[in-house]
Amino acid sequence: MEIVDQLKEYSTGISILYVEDDDVVRSTTAKILLRYFDSVVSASNGKEGVEAYMSGKFDIVIADIYMPVMNGIKMTKRIREINSEQIVIVTTAYNDYQYLLELISIGINYFILKPLEPTKLIAVLHRACKKIHNERHIEHCHKEIEETVKNQTLELAQARELLQLEVKRRQQVEEQFRVYLREGEEVFKKICLSAPGAIVVMDSEGVISFWNNAAESMFGYTQQEAIGKGLHGLIAPQQYHQRYIEAFEVLRQAGQGSGHGKAVQLEAVNKVGGGFPIELSVSLISIDGKLHTVGMIRDMTG
């Protein structure tokens, strides 16, 4: 791509302050600048340049050294006091080398020797605009990263809140079981029957001895239909019967040790054959001296 085409690409959204005391040079150069930049403000001396700079926002300042009222060096120093990162391009004649060290000391970015030639001007502007373009791109990437991190942080906070709610729900269910242990089986049944989550009690063979209202709603089987049936035969898809039995046994074994309350995700079917994912967690309780498995089932479809 030609440098002129690249300049047109890089100059998008970039504003110029051009300060030059020679009316002819200023007018001619301003016309060239307007071919590439939408915003070009001109001033005829350093004092006007500072006033224009303070009343606007400019990405690039182009200034001559020799000017009446306030020369380019003083103007640049004043601009750098306002914005130390400002890009400044100085136009200078061959006999201005005595000022070069002072200009370098105040951080001039680019020099263009007079008389101004369009090709030289375009080359310097290309470098300056490319620098600004790259910096803006980096800034844009940083903002996108910050926004992504912000969104992910929000999502994590929401997930944490949902997890806390789930932990609270499980704690409430476990508290209901503790109430049962303190007050007896009838109180337990009354509580569990009205519990919002599906609760199922099974004997050591996996045969259902308790089936609450939420389980009825979730799977479509009444208590009379469910009690006395094997859980895996009632709600597990035919092709997953063996996997269901094995998973249930793993959970029962875990319930006797440090894995108490551990959950596993399975596929289930309701009475009419509709499949849906569930999360099953188990605990062991003693009823009349016999261990029973209490399963808490959650519909993963929401």
What pLDDT does residue 290 have? 77
Over residues 254-264, the pLDDT tens digits come to 655 443 556 77
HSE at residue 176, side-chain half, CA atoms within 13 A, is: 22
Residues in the chain where the model's pLDDT stays below 70 = 1, 94-107, 177-193, 247-248, 251-262, 287-288, 302
**CB neighbourhood size of 289 (10 A):** 5
What pLDDT does residue 181 have? 55
**Mean pLDDT, rounded, of the chain:** 83
> Does residue 247 contact residue 267 with C-beta atoms inside 8 Å?
no
The arrangement of secondary structure in 190-299, i.e. its CATH architecture, is: 2-Layer Sandwich (3.30)
- The model carries a pTM of 0.50
Within the chain, residue ranges assigned H as helices are 3-10, 23-34, 46-55, 72-82, 100-105, 118-183, 185-193, 213-219, 223-226, 231-235, 241-255
What pLDDT does residue 98 have? 62
What pLDDT does residue 258 have? 40
Phi and psi for 153 in degrees, rounded to 5? -65, -40
Alpha-carbon distance of 236 to 242, in angstroms, equals 9
HSE at residue 282, side-chain half, CA atoms within 13 A, is: 26
Over residues 159-186, the pLDDT tens digits come to 888 888 888 887 887 777 666 656 656 6
What pLDDT does residue 257 have? 42
3-state SS, residue 63: strand
Q: Can 3-140 and 190-299 be said to share one CATH topology?
A: no
Domain boundaries defined on the chain: 3-140, 190-299
Alpha-carbon distance of 229 to 164, in angstroms, equals 34
What pLDDT does residue 277 have? 92
Reported CATH class of domain 3-140: alpha beta
What pLDDT does residue 39 have? 92
DSSP assignment letter at 44: S
> Does residue 75 contact residue 19 with C-beta atoms inside 8 Å?
yes
What pLDDT does residue 196 have? 79
